[in-house]
A and B are shown apart, each in its own frame.
Chain A
């Protein structure tokens, strides 16, 4: 989780990732952040995030992203 937080902080340090639960729906993150987010998560956790995972629900909060990462890791 710490590693994920580091990635997120790097993308935009002003967001309170502990509390924010509408990162996508609330337009807090933009599309260009998503590309770097997806590539950095893939690299850091050595996983492949398929397009089927790219839905707002998986990226609306740090917790949701963490859950998705673990799911993908379990599958792999």
Chain B
């Protein structure tokens, strides 16, 4: 199998009457979902020819709402032989304008309601409104062989995820069909995930982690239940919904799982059908994980480790009572075909307790940072592999160490990237956003690891007074909601170190 279109089509043919997708209001079988996506692929091709006549695959912007249509838009783009770039329809138009100018998409897929934001972001291409209905019968389907997506080679880009950039500009991480194909097959086999799974999706489709859910559905013939976001607000409602939709598998950020036990949900309702709880994106607070484990010991709990620069994840650790008694969870074993190693000053280290940077060698590595060879060459190296052949290696920026048992444990970031509620944020992006406010002279953003809060220290223009509230409100025009600091500390002068730079260490000690 060479591409994700072939993967999807073979599954759709195998399980025509199984539910592929549901978002609480629209539910589609694989046959229905396939029919809609193929019609849309024809619409896309009309607007943007691909294949031999049309030339190289082009980026297609996809408004990523939490609905069935958004997933189908992505699949339709692949069938048409292009690659999709999902975006958060609620992101600021300023941030969207960076994406638009960075990849210059000739086509956008969404709904009429997305037109205004796209225009404000400087997008002047075509917007195709594509909305799935429950009953797509009666449409003539294009022949399989006419789908350019079926001719796509494994090295071709499939999708691009924009992630936080330290200068305030999001950076695009481009991933190939082959990377995702490799990952999803390895993942599916390692955990025996099959068509009986009902996946409860939590991650929005503009975040990288959601691709695991989409392609697990496409590879295994599993059902993808897109959980309406309001269900996550009240954990009792959330667990009731999992039971109602008979969800068996979740792969969530630990924050969403910890919320359930923090609010003592299991005293009222327990998951009835859930059998697999995977988590990724940040460290799970062990106290909460123990509560899950003690209340529901028959569930398989798995700690996943990955990076946006890799399709899917790189390693997995199955939780046991033993690992729960430790202070931190191991990152686990690398997937078959993936190698994880620790590098310090260019050398591989194996001794316990020595700190190094995690490097990943895997067929799942991303192709590049979009049109940014300098950054790409810095993070993606070519090295000699175990068999002497050259192999691509990603330097993750994650610092880790082996324990006595040879297990890898995450320690810290080498830079100022943080994970907040499972989302990857560069503190520099928040600082860049804050510095756009005319009342702020300089600022420094830190993450309070104990309280899990983003804190901004700000030095205001002389004579200006602002409350933290006012600053936070003003920041909303420059930053996504999840990046807004929960606390703003006004300072007359930010402390400087001997080099004349803002003294982050001193500020950190005040947290």
Residues of B within 8 A of A25 (CB): 230
Q: How far is the CB of A34 from chain B (nearest CB, A)?
A: 6
Q: Report if B237 contacts A (CB, 8 A).
A: yes
Instruction: Give Cα A56–Cα B235 distance, bound, in whole angstroms.
Output: 10
Q: How far is the CB of B350 from chain A (nearest CB, A)?
A: 39
Instruction: Give Cα A69–Cα B184 distance, bound, in whole angstroms.
Output: 48
Asked if B469 contacts A35 (CB within 8 A), the reply is no
Cβ < 8 Å to B, chain A residues 34-50: 34-35, 38, 50
Asked if A50 contacts B472 (CB within 8 A), the reply is no
Asked if B267 contacts A56 (CB within 8 A), the reply is no
Q: Report if A65 contacts B (CB, 8 A).
A: no
Q: How far is the CB of B113 from chain A (nearest CB, A)?
A: 16
Residues of A within 8 A of B259 (CB): 31-32, 34-35
Q: How far is the CB of B285 from chain A (nearest CB, A)?
A: 12
Q: Report if A30 contacts B (CB, 8 A).
A: yes
Instruction: Give Cα A76–Cα B103 distance, bound, in whole angstroms.
Output: 59
Closest partner residue, chain A, to B238 (CB atom): A31
Asked if B264 contacts A56 (CB within 8 A), the reply is no
Interface of B is mostly: helix
Asked if A51 contacts B232 (CB within 8 A), the reply is no
Q: Report if B255 contacts A (CB, 8 A).
A: yes
Q: Report if B473 contacts A (CB, 8 A).
A: yes
Partner of B234, one of A13, A24, A32: A24
Instruction: Give Cα A75–Cα B26 distance, bound, in whole angstroms.
Output: 43
Residues of B at the A interface (CB closer than 8 Å) are 229-230, 232-237, 255-256, 259, 262-268, 421, 469-470, 472-473, 476
Asked if A52 contacts B233 (CB within 8 A), the reply is no
Asked if A51 contacts B263 (CB within 8 A), the reply is yes
- Which among A30, A32, A55 has the highest number of chain B CB atoms within 10 Å? A32
Partner of A14, one of B232, B233, B473: B473
Residues of A at the B interface (CB closer than 8 Å) are 9, 13-14, 24-25, 27, 29-32, 34-35, 38, 50-52, 54-56, 59
Partner of B237, one of A32, A35, A52, A56: A56
Asked if B263 contacts A35 (CB within 8 A), the reply is yes
Residues of A within 8 A of B236 (CB): 51-52, 54-55
Instruction: Give Cα A13–Cα B268 distance, bound, in whole angstroms.
Output: 32
Asked if B469 contacts A9 (CB within 8 A), the reply is yes
Asked if B268 contacts A24 (CB within 8 A), the reply is no
Partner of A34, one of B233, B266, B421, B473: B233
- In the complex, 16 of the A-B residue pairs with CB atoms within 8 angstroms, ordered by the A residue number, are A13-B469, A14-B473, A14-B476, A25-B230, A27-B229, A27-B230, A30-B232, A31-B235, A32-B255, A51-B264, A51-B265, A51-B266, A55-B234, A56-B233, A56-B234, A59-B233
